[in-house]
Amino acid sequence: MTGNTRAAVSALARRLVFGLSVPIIAAAQQVPEQPGTKWTEQQLKAAVAPVRAGRKLTPKAWPNDARVAVCLSFDVDNESYLLAGGETSPTTLSAADFGAQEGLPRVLAMLDKYQIPSSFFIPAVSAVLHPEMIPAIMKSGRHEIGVHGWIHEYPPATASAAEEERLLTQAIDYLTKATGKRPVGYRAPAWAFSANTLGLIRKAGMFYDSSLQSMDEPYEIVSNGEATGLVELGIDWTLTETPYLGRGGTMPSPGALFQLYRDEFDGAYDLHTTFVLTLHPQVIGHRAPMKYLDQFVGYMKSKPGVWFATCEQIARYVKSAA
């Protein structure tokens, strides 16, 4: 390399580094907006008032003197959330199709092995694309099917309350026709309420919700100081596998994740309350995670006084006990 060439390469490198570093530095130095710092106490209280935790609903006793109520729940998203965003890549969609082709059959076989019920929250579009899923889930007569949006839409991004209601009604109508029973449970797509969601699911006659995270035991939802009568079966981002094993997840072994689940279950067992685990067939249905899920269910089954139930069964029991 000649001296002139080396100088040219060095100059180009400086320009590239400088050109790349300027937006990085600018982004790092950008100050986030903090409008809440100027809100009055009244405004702060008004901001949180629409959806709040009310009274705890953990009963004094579970059926048959069980120590803990366990609901294994599955969000059967498959390709729905990708299609909602306009994704058409066959490669990307195939990874989500795995949930219907391999994941769900493996999950159902594991549930049959232990003879336990489960709750499946299904975006209606998932069932449209895979009509064999709902009959397969219903075959044992043990499982529940709940609402998880029309196409796994993101409720806060819907254009209006009317548009969100249209999608919700469309989902309920489809699942009612496909199952022969109107669903009574709702889990928000992306676990995200809009400002309109609570009012819409109450209007739709939902008996319980499983989208919020204020408590790790059953509670009643309060809205603007009013007890809604709606049972909440809280979920949590630590009790789902997608942040760890899904696309972009950083956990090298599902074994570590299931140790967390085991510790959480043991805590619920000690406190005599609920353990709600949310999994996704397109993620958990792979061979290694299924191995650990099977072992974990076997561990819970080995403990005395564990009531395995659907979310609907738990919600109805705590509501009647209250």
Structure tokens of 106?
Answer: 């493996």
**d(Cα 280, Cα 24) in Å, to the nearest integer?**
35
Q: In the CATH scheme, what is the code of domain 54-321? A: 3.20.20.370
**d(Cα 180, Cα 164) in Å, to the nearest integer?**
24
pLDDT bucket at 28, cuts 50 / 70 / 90:
low
| pTM higher than the cut 0.85 | yes
* Residue position matching structure tokens 């809100």: 39
The yes-or-no verdict on residue 7 having pLDDT over 70 is no
pLDDT in tens, 35-89: 999 999 999 999 999 999 999 999 999 999 999 999 999 999 999 999 999 999 9
Domain ranges of the chain: 54-321
pLDDT bucket at 247, cuts 50 / 70 / 90:
confident
The yes-or-no verdict on residue 126 having pLDDT over 90 is yes
- Closest-CA residue to 279 (of 297, 263, 266, 267): 297
Given the DSSP bridges, would you call strands 144-147 and 119-122 parallel, antiparallel or unpaired? parallel
pLDDT in tens, 218-228: 999 999 999 99
**Which residues is 252 bridged to in the sheet?**
none
Structure tokens of 145?
Answer: 């099917």
The yes-or-no verdict on residue 260 having pLDDT over 80 is yes
User: Residues 177, 154: contact at Cβ < 8 Å?
Assistant: no
- Higher-confidence residue of 251 and 171: namely 171
Given the DSSP bridges, would you call strands 52-56 and 274-279 parallel, antiparallel or unpaired? unpaired
Coil, strand or helix: which one is 118?
coil
Question: How confident is the model over 251-271, as a mean pLDDT?
Answer: 94
User: What does DSSP assign to residue 101?
Assistant: I
